[in-house]
Amino acid sequence: MKLIFAQGNPGLEYNKTRHNVGFRILDAYTEQHKLDWTTKAKFLADVAEFTEIGEKVLLVKPTTFYNETGRSARALVDFYKLDPTHDVLVIHDDLALPFGTIRVREKGSDAGNNGIKSLNAHLGETYTRLRIGTWNELRDKMGDIDFVLAKFSSSEIKRLQDDIIPHAITLIEAFCHGTLETTSHTL
């Protein structure tokens, strides 16, 4: 079984923010594959599921706020008896990476990301991460919170839809097939 876990905040006011890029990617994935979201209170999450190569795959958008997402991940990992090292892919924004960069890593520290800090506290540091770069020149003029909760510009939204999200979906599928490698792409 595979768990594809996106970082983000619940609520319409956060929909188009940098912090919710993981949610945007999973929403595009569910739309492309005609999947439906179901709220699962015991997992503190909205979940969509399907089978790929005979293996169950859960797409997850936690309903906790970003900084508490580890609680949701822990509930899922415990219930399904998953091994985060092999079974979990986390998709999250990364304000240290330039917009248009996607980096795949198998483990690591939180690097100041409070959502990753929560996940690391609940799962340990060894799980695969799909880091989506959100940095742009505005980052140097704004504090962290204001920047990650800001909305993408119209030109960034176009790049997200045309390049970044389709590439991220390809990487999710590679993870499901066991062929995802650590890498970095600039789109």
| Residue of 149, 153, 87, 92 whose CA lies nearest to 118 | 92
For residues 102 and 107, give the distance between their C-alpha atoms in angstroms, rounded to a whole number.
15
- Of 19, 92, 122, 185, the catalytic one is 19
Say if CB 39 and CB 63 are below 8 A apart.
Answer: yes
Instruction: Provide the 3-class DSSP secondary structure of residue 99.
Output: coil
Say if CB 126 and CB 106 are below 8 A apart.
Answer: yes
| Residue of 1, 46, 7 whose CA lies nearest to 25 | 7
Say if CB 84 and CB 124 are below 8 A apart.
Answer: yes
Q: Is 177 a catalytic residue?
A: no
Q: Annotated catalytic sites, by residue?
A: 19
